[in-house]
Chains A and B, each alone.
Chain A
Amino acid sequence: MRKVLIVGATSTIAEQAARRFAAAGDSLFLTGRNEERLAAITDDLQVRGAPTVAARVMDADDLSAHGATIDAAEAALGGLDTVLVAYGTLPDQTACAADPATAVAAWHTNAVSVVALLTDIANRFERQGHGTIAAISSVAGDRGRASNYVYGSAKAGLNAFMDGLRHRLFKAGVKVVTIRPGMVDTPMTADFDKGPLFASPEKVGADIHSAIEKGTAVCYTPGFWRLIMTIITALPRAIFHRTGL
């Protein structure tokens, strides 16, 4: 049975993945910013079969809080072997383009804080010689596009960081799983018109669980995004620049 730390556990996608872990009998340690929602999710996961569920309020932007939270998770579960980083923000691109501080804040949440967190986790897992590190990135990281390149570039940084981490931890036997979801119908996209490309959080949560179980290096979810992004990244600039992507 796994001992899973989920950072950003009140995310809809994380909650769906957590239900899979709970149903499989895994123990969970949840972090998020909202205590009340963490409590509701804790109860739910216990009913769904998780033998131990504990939670702690943490704002991942506060890098100084990471170490103590990971210590607390290890103490509550008697160790850790799986980490899922599920938090993130989808900033307004126009605001990011207009204001350097907004762009940097988006990078801080989506890239810098994850790098800090995973560096700590990676060192612990490397020492123990096993474990799975997963983080939710995005298909937006595959190519910078006018419509959301600040968010996309933070995710691109995360992708490269995780590629390197995977390379480094291969010898230690630690798996590194990069999740690249397309558009998902969650509160993050509440203001978007939903088209046929939107996936349900249930589907994405199930894909994440299965990618972690299998140790898949890079998981596009739903899978058709691998094809879409292959085409988008292959588009010559002459054409790409004329699109509204």
Chain B
Amino acid sequence: MLAYGNGRSYGDSCLNNDGLLIDIGGLDRFISFDPATGILECESGVLLTDILELVVPQGWFLPVTPGTQFVSVGGAIANDVHGKNHHGAGTFGRHVRSLDLLRSDGTALTCTPNDNAEWFAATVGGLGLTGLVTKATIALKRIEGPFMDVDTLRFRNLDEFFAISAASDSDYEYTVAWVDCTARGGKLGRGWFMRANHKPALGQQPDPRKRGGPTFPFVTPISMINGATLRPLNTLYFHRKRQPCSRDTQHFQPYFYPLDGIKHWNRAYGPKGFLQYQCVVPHADARASIAELLERIAAAGAGSFLSVLKVFGDVESPGLMSFPRPGVTLALDFPNRGRQTFTLLDRLDDVVRAAGGAVYPAKDARMGAAAFKQYFPATERFKAFVDPAFSSDFWRRVTGEDS
């Protein structure tokens, strides 16, 4: 069996063919919230969007948020998710004060970084395999209002990206970059760097986009992101603004969750869908490794419009199997073109493995057992904590049980 939250993992880590899925959607109750301390206790099926709706008007915010708010608290823990503030705040798991784990033998464990600490470390980032997380306590972060101060800076190549990133980390809570994955040569790794802080009070104003955004109406017969559109889309976006840097005030919704604004955006990839690929490479050779990855992607004419680059910080991840680690992370979508896409991703794995990096399980649908073992050296230790009744398609694949 396997707990299933809101199904937003891109790969098969939330699937369990021929097994049971426990839909935790019904575990969606808050248990307590103290507006003085920002300590929130809730059941594991509560979605981050529900938390935001409750706490933002009271001056609190998620300590760490991924790029969509439509994930469950249980899923955020199981994947030890990260966000644009990783360089300062670390992963989501760092802000989990306590979680309740229910094992298939009926044992219920309350785990904190101090009590049942080894179970806590195995469960945070543990891909839901250690048992069912029933509830959790999270420490939220104070904000003065729902708006963000956002700087947008153009960079013409990877060197400029690294320079801007290094100069931004100390003064900006959130940093992330969009990168043109079709550019090559001297333009390799060009893009836009976005850095932001929560804006000091502007009063509570509603999200300008609140509810009922557009819906992508149907699955297009072929992917809208294809050889004909890829380059123009990326080039247009790179040249979208005349001035190389600008400053805006944005509501947190479009800033953190641009894709949440379009329901069913994934339909644009057509019936074959897409694959995500997110890797991290250590600081040492990061410049060269990222360049090599981007070059291989651009040469293959693959990739998409949604390519993201970010420098992770040195804040230690609390989970045995957490993905974030010091280095530089690159995330992209790839329209699924069958064998050629999978071959390209294997070739990207070669670069990541040579660099001593890792690929993100939450977004993976194809990495092999050998690669996984190298990316997650704690796997053998972790296995002792896996509930004997729990498994997933992902887990069977990367532990070689299926092959």
Q: How large is the interface on A (under 10, 10 to 19, 20 to 34, 35 or more residues)?
A: under 10
* Bound Cα distance from A30 to B31, whole angstroms: 17
Determine whether B32 belongs to the interface, using a CB cutoff of 8 Å to chain A.
Answer: yes
> From residue A193, how far is it (CB to closest CB) to chain B in Å?
16
* Bound Cα distance from A44 to B54, whole angstroms: 11
* Bound Cα distance from A41 to B29, whole angstroms: 7
User: A41 contacts which chain B residues (CB < 8 A)?
Assistant: 29
> From residue A19, how far is it (CB to closest CB) to chain B in Å?
10
Please tell me if the beta carbons of A43 and B54 are within 8 angstroms of each other in the complex.
no
Q: Of residues 123 to 176 in A, which have CB atoms within 8 Å of B's CB atoms?
A: none
User: B26 contacts which chain A residues (CB < 8 A)?
Assistant: 12
Best-buried of B29, B30, B54 by chain A (most CB within 10 Å): B29
Determine whether B256 belongs to the interface, using a CB cutoff of 8 Å to chain A.
Answer: no
Determine whether B33 belongs to the interface, using a CB cutoff of 8 Å to chain A.
Answer: yes
Q: Of residues 25 to 71 in B, which have CB atoms within 8 Å of A's CB atoms?
A: 26, 29-33, 54
> From residue B376, how far is it (CB to closest CB) to chain A in Å?
36
Q: Of residues 39 to 56 in A, which have CB atoms within 8 Å of B's CB atoms?
A: 40-41, 43-44, 47-48
> From residue B230, how far is it (CB to closest CB) to chain A in Å?
35
* Bound Cα distance from A43 to B30, whole angstroms: 7
Q: Render A166-194 as a binary contact track against B, CB cut-off 8 A, 1 for contact.
A: 00000000000000000000000000000
User: A12 contacts which chain B residues (CB < 8 A)?
Assistant: 26
Residue in B closest to A15 when the chains form the complex, CB atoms: B29
* Bound Cα distance from A43 to B40, whole angstroms: 12
A-B contact count (CB 8 A): 18
User: B30 contacts which chain A residues (CB < 8 A)?
Assistant: 43-44, 47-48
Residue in B closest to A185 when the chains form the complex, CB atoms: B25
Q: How large is the interface on B (under 10, 10 to 19, 20 to 34, 35 or more residues)?
A: under 10
Q: Of residues 9 to 37 in B, which have CB atoms within 8 Å of A's CB atoms?
A: 26, 29-33
Q: Of residues 178 to 215 in A, which have CB atoms within 8 Å of B's CB atoms?
A: none
Q: Of residues 54 to 103 in A, which have CB atoms within 8 Å of B's CB atoms?
A: none
* Bound Cα distance from A40 to B54, whole angstroms: 17
User: A48 contacts which chain B residues (CB < 8 A)?
Assistant: 30, 54
* Bound Cα distance from A8 to B26, whole angstroms: 17
Residue in A closest to B40 when the chains form the complex, CB atoms: A47
Residue in B closest to A186 when the chains form the complex, CB atoms: B26
* Bound Cα distance from A44 to B31, whole angstroms: 5
Best-buried of A12, A40, A47, A48 by chain B (most CB within 10 Å): A47
User: B32 contacts which chain A residues (CB < 8 A)?
Assistant: 43, 47
* Bound Cα distance from A48 to B31, whole angstroms: 10
Residue in B closest to A49 when the chains form the complex, CB atoms: B54
> From residue A180, how far is it (CB to closest CB) to chain B in Å?
24
> From residue A36, how far is it (CB to closest CB) to chain B in Å?
12
User: B29 contacts which chain A residues (CB < 8 A)?
Assistant: 40-41, 43-44
> From residue A175, how far is it (CB to closest CB) to chain B in Å?
27
Q: Of residues 222 to 240 in A, which have CB atoms within 8 Å of B's CB atoms?
A: none
User: A44 contacts which chain B residues (CB < 8 A)?
Assistant: 29-31
Residue in A closest to B55 when the chains form the complex, CB atoms: A47
Residue in A closest to B29 when the chains form the complex, CB atoms: A44
Residue in B closest to A47 when the chains form the complex, CB atoms: B30
Best-buried of B26, B30, B33, B54 by chain A (most CB within 10 Å): B30
Q: Render B358-370 as a binary contact track against A, CB cut-off 8 A, 1 for contact.
A: 0000000000000
User: B54 contacts which chain A residues (CB < 8 A)?
Assistant: 47-48
> From residue B102, how far is it (CB to closest CB) to chain A in Å?
15
* Bound Cα distance from A72 to B260, whole angstroms: 45
> From residue B288, how far is it (CB to closest CB) to chain A in Å?
50
> From residue A10, how far is it (CB to closest CB) to chain B in Å?
11
Residue in A closest to B57 when the chains form the complex, CB atoms: A49
> From residue A46, how far is it (CB to closest CB) to chain B in Å?
8
> From residue B36, how far is it (CB to closest CB) to chain A in Å?
14
* Bound Cα distance from A41 to B30, whole angstroms: 8
Q: Of residues 1 to 18 in A, which have CB atoms within 8 Å of B's CB atoms?
A: 12
* Bound Cα distance from A73 to B72, whole angstroms: 35
* Bound Cα distance from A47 to B54, whole angstroms: 8
Q: Render A23-42 as a binary contact track against B, CB cut-off 8 A, 1 for contact.
A: 00000000000000000110
> From residue B210, how far is it (CB to closest CB) to chain A in Å?
14
Residue in B closest to A40 when the chains form the complex, CB atoms: B29
* Bound Cα distance from A127 to B33, whole angstroms: 39
* Bound Cα distance from A40 to B135, whole angstroms: 12
> From residue A6, how far is it (CB to closest CB) to chain B in Å?
15
Residue in B closest to A43 when the chains form the complex, CB atoms: B31
> From residue B383, how far is it (CB to closest CB) to chain A in Å?
34
Q: Render B269-311 as a binary contact track against A, CB cut-off 8 A, 1 for contact.
A: 0000000000000000000000000000000000000000000
* Bound Cα distance from A48 to B29, whole angstroms: 9
> From residue A34, how far is it (CB to closest CB) to chain B in Å?
14
Residue in A closest to B46 when the chains form the complex, CB atoms: A44
* Bound Cα distance from A12 to B33, whole angstroms: 22
> From residue B5, how far is it (CB to closest CB) to chain A in Å?
17
* Bound Cα distance from A48 to B32, whole angstroms: 9
> From residue A25, how far is it (CB to closest CB) to chain B in Å?
12
* Bound Cα distance from A43 to B41, whole angstroms: 10
Residue in A closest to B33 when the chains form the complex, CB atoms: A47
* Bound Cα distance from A44 to B41, whole angstroms: 10
User: B31 contacts which chain A residues (CB < 8 A)?
Assistant: 40, 43-44, 47
Contacts A40-B29, A41-B29, A43-B29 aside, 11 further interface pairs with beta carbons under 8 A come to A43-B30, A43-B31, A44-B29, A44-B30, A44-B31, A47-B31, A47-B32, A47-B33, A47-B54, A48-B30, A48-B54
The 10 A-B residue pairs with the shortest CB-CB distance in the complex, in nearest-first order: A47-B30, A44-B29, A47-B33, A44-B30, A43-B31, A40-B29, A47-B32, A48-B30, A43-B32, A48-B54
| Chain A to chain B contacts (Cβ below 8 Å), 18 pairs | A12-B26, A40-B29, A40-B31, A41-B29, A43-B29, A43-B30, A43-B31, A43-B32, A44-B29, A44-B30, A44-B31, A47-B30, A47-B31, A47-B32, A47-B33, A47-B54, A48-B30, A48-B54
